[in-house]
Structure 1
Amino acid sequence: MGDTTAPSRYQLAEIGALLAEPARAAMLLALIDGTARPAGELAQAAGVGAATASAHLKRLLEGGLLAVHVQGRHRYYRLAGEDVSALLEALALPRTRPALPAPAGGDRALRLARTCYRHLAGRLGVGLCDAMLSNDYLHMTGEGLRLRESGAAALVSTGLQPSSAQALLPLQGRSCLDWTERRMHVGGPLGVSLTDAMLEAGWLRRRRGSRALQPSDDGLRRLMALGVRIDAG
Structure 2
Amino acid sequence: MSVSKSICNARSDDALEQAMSSVASAISDASRVSILCALMDGRAWTATELSAVAGITASTTSGHLARLLNNGLIRCLSQGRHRYYSLAGPQIAGLLENLMSVSMSPPTPPASRTPQHLRYARTCYDHLAGELAVEIYQLMQQEQWLEADGSMLTAAGKSRLQSLGCALDPRPRRRACCPCLDWSERRFHLGGDAGAALMTLFLQKAWIERIQGYREVKVTSSGKIALRRHFHLNVC
TM-score tier (shorter): 0.7 to 0.9
Q: 2:91 aligns with which of 80, 83, 92?
A: 83
Equivalences for residues 187-202 of structure 1 within 5 A: 187-202=191-206
Q: Alignment RMSD, CA only?
A: 2.7
Q: Tell me by how many angstroms 1:231 deviates.
A: 9.7
- Residues 206 and 51 (structure 1), Cα distance of their counterparts in 2 relative to 1, 3 Å cut: same
Equivalences for residues 10-25 of structure 1 within 5 A: 10-25=18-33
Contact 1:85 1:116 in 2 (8 A): yes
Question: Which structure dedicates a bigger proportion of its chain to helix?
Answer: 2
Equivalences for residues 99-118 of structure 1 within 5 A: 99-102=109-112, 107-118=115-126
SS at match of 1:69: strand
Q: Distance in 1 between matches of 2:58 and 2:22?
A: 24
Q: Distance in 2 between matches of 1:61 and 1:117?
A: 17
CA distances 1:52-97 after superposition (whole Å, capped 9, x unpaired): 1111111111111111111222211111111111111111112515
SS at match of 1:197: helix
Q: Distance in 2 between matches of 1:150 and 1:53?
A: 44
Residue 211, structure 1, aligned to residue 221, structure 2: no
Q: Tell me by how many angstroms 1:230 deviates.
A: 6.9
Contact 1:69 1:77 in 2 (8 A): yes
CA distances 1:160-210 after superposition (whole Å, capped 9, x unpaired): 3xxx23x23736121100010111111111111111101211221111222
Match of 2:69 in 1: 61
Give the length in aligned residue pairs: 218
SS at match of 1:181: coil
Q: Distance in 2 between matches of 1:79 and 1:147?
A: 29
- Residues 168 and 149 (structure 1), Cα distance of their counterparts in 2 relative to 1, 3 Å cut: farther
SS at match of 2:153: strand
Over the matched positions of the two proteins, sequence identity in percent amounts to 34
Match of 2:106 in 1: 96
Q: Tell me by how many angstroms 1:101 deviates.
A: 2.4
Match of 2:159 in 1: 152
Q: Distance in 2 between matches of 1:91 and 1:53?
A: 22
Equivalences for residues 167-206 of structure 1 within 5 A: 167-168=167-168, 170=170, 172-206=176-210
Instruction: Provide TM-score, normalisation by structure 2.
Output: 0.81
Long gaps (5+) in structure 1: none
